[in-house]
Amino acid sequence: MSKLRFVNSLLISTAICFFLPSIAARGGHSDYIHPGDGNFSFHVTARNLFAQEETRPSLELTRGYMTNDDLEKAMKDFTKRCSKISRLYSIGKSVNGFPLWVIEISDRPGEIEAEPAFKYIGNVHGDEPVGRELLLRLANWICDNYDKDPLAQMIVENVHLHIMPSLNPDGFSIRKRNNANNVDLNRDFPDQFFSFNEDLSLRQPETMAVMTWLRDIRFTASATLHGGALVANFPWDGTEDKRKYYYACPDDETFRFLARIYSKSHRNMSLSKEFEEGITNGASWYPIYGGMQDWNYIHGGCFELTLEISDNKWPRASELPTIWDYNRKSMLNLVASLVKTGVHGRIFSLDQGKPLPGLVVVKGINYTVKAHQRYADYHRLLAPGQKYEVTASSPGYKSKTTTVWLGENAFTADFILIPETSSRGNLLRSSCDCSCKSCGQPLLAQFFTETNNGITITLFVVVVFLCFLLQRRVRFNLWKQRQSSRRSITV
């Protein structure tokens, strides 16, 4: 090595050592791919090397925090104490075999209902333990208050809330960011721009568990809790060219709205001097690749925020009550936003009145929301104060569009779709069209001329009666009204 190259290497190493700790302090947004660096094999190696550089919190700081065993016991105790509104389940195991426990809170835990689901995940990074503590407090607070606090009651009755305090119990036990295989779980998901995480055999069990979880449960929105900053972060997290700038996803306005719900309900997040309103687009802060947030939005149909809830990654346990106090309203309001805002409804078929697992799109937003496979309920989060053209479609049916003026409250729009063809023939479809305002007069006229008057009248009465019954049946099954003040339509 020439003298010049040696000096250069020394300078670069010094620079890396200087900058890494400050990057690491940014919770979920430390990153090892530098803008303009196209070498992703370097990325995989570097994230492992990086872990050796981090300084672990002192053992003394763990005092007052739950150990993994404490947490498991606390979750089991919780679901015993609050068995009426909760259940405990595991979505898999960590590298070292620790169950990845989840508490579900709902008035019908474990059942599938025509309701949105929300998930909170804490402790993705092992050395960021505040989230796991706060999530247990959140569960207990809801259990203690759902019969007297309207917000808690609304969540229990209208949302299925899934709480996973720790995705990385192995990292927590050794007070390190990465999992037991020294992999950063928030860089281990498939990336939309780069294929460096494609190899399934390299995917971590914790990551696999989350990916499978999203196939089993249709989550409308979610948030992961990190530490090291105070900001609500939203997609996109990465850019196509790996440079740092604001990179908006199709639902940018909705994400800004959701992030603001969190930051403005927080005691001081929105007062941030670093982040305007206490929110940030991930890529404009620092691009990352293979993150959980973007994967949720793209592949899980789930609007996910990355919440940095404490400047200090591992504060003293004595500070936890204050941090909980600062975050409590935000955590509740974010979950409740699934019910209080957006456009919701169900999709039915006109011919049989059955739920149709169709698709919902909003004009001008390149994103599709799927209705539930069984109940065909859909939950389309949208920024309020705007007009939206909402279209529902399902294979074999004519799609329908309605215009929604979305105010501060949620809006219910049910869709009744007409089959493209019907085995009962054109008569039924024509005379019983959705609103019965556009009945097929020519067909009916032809029908009348081919029968005598007595049969005609009888048949006419039967057809009208059937039409009436069919509409009653469809309407009877419609989505229950959540709030008396909520506006709703059926199209």
Residues designated catalytic: 308
3-state SS class at 86: strand
CA dihedral 261, 265, 266, 271 (to 10 degrees): 80
CB 434, min distance to Zn ion, A = 50
CB 312, min distance to Zn ion, A = 13
CB 128, min distance to Zn ion, A = 5
Which helix or strand (DSSP H or E) is residue 101 part of?
strand 99-105
CB 27, min distance to Zn ion, A = 4
Which residue from 371, 363, 370 is spatially nearest to 387, judged by alpha carbons?
Answer: 363
Residues at the interface with Zn ion (CB under 5 A):
27-28, 125, 128, 226
- Which CB, 27 or 345, lies closer to Zn ion? 27
3-state SS class at 308: strand
CB 123, min distance to Zn ion, A = 9
CB 26, min distance to Zn ion, A = 8
- Which CB, 28 or 355, lies closer to Zn ion? 28
Which amino acid type is present at position 22? S
**What size, in residues, is the chain?**
491
Beta-bridge partners for 102: 89
- Which CB, 28 or 109, lies closer to Zn ion? 28
Which residue from 369, 372, 367, 327 is spatially nearest to 348, judged by alpha carbons?
Answer: 372
- Which CB, 78 or 314, lies closer to Zn ion? 314
Task: Please report which residue ranges of 146-223 form alpha helices under DSSP H.
Answer: 150-158, 169-173, 205-216
**Contact (Cβ atoms closer than 8 angstroms) between residue 101 and residue 214:** no
Q: Residue 278 has what DSSP assignment? A: G
- Which CB, 124 or 416, lies closer to Zn ion? 124
Cα–Cα dist 242/192, whole Å:
12
CA dihedral 292, 294, 299, 303 (to 10 degrees): 100
The pairing of strands 359-362 and 365-370 is antiparallel
Q: Which residues of 190-202 are buried (b: 16+ CB within 10 A; e: fewer)?
A: bbbebebbeeeee
Task: Report which residue's Cβ sits closest to Zn ion.
Answer: 226
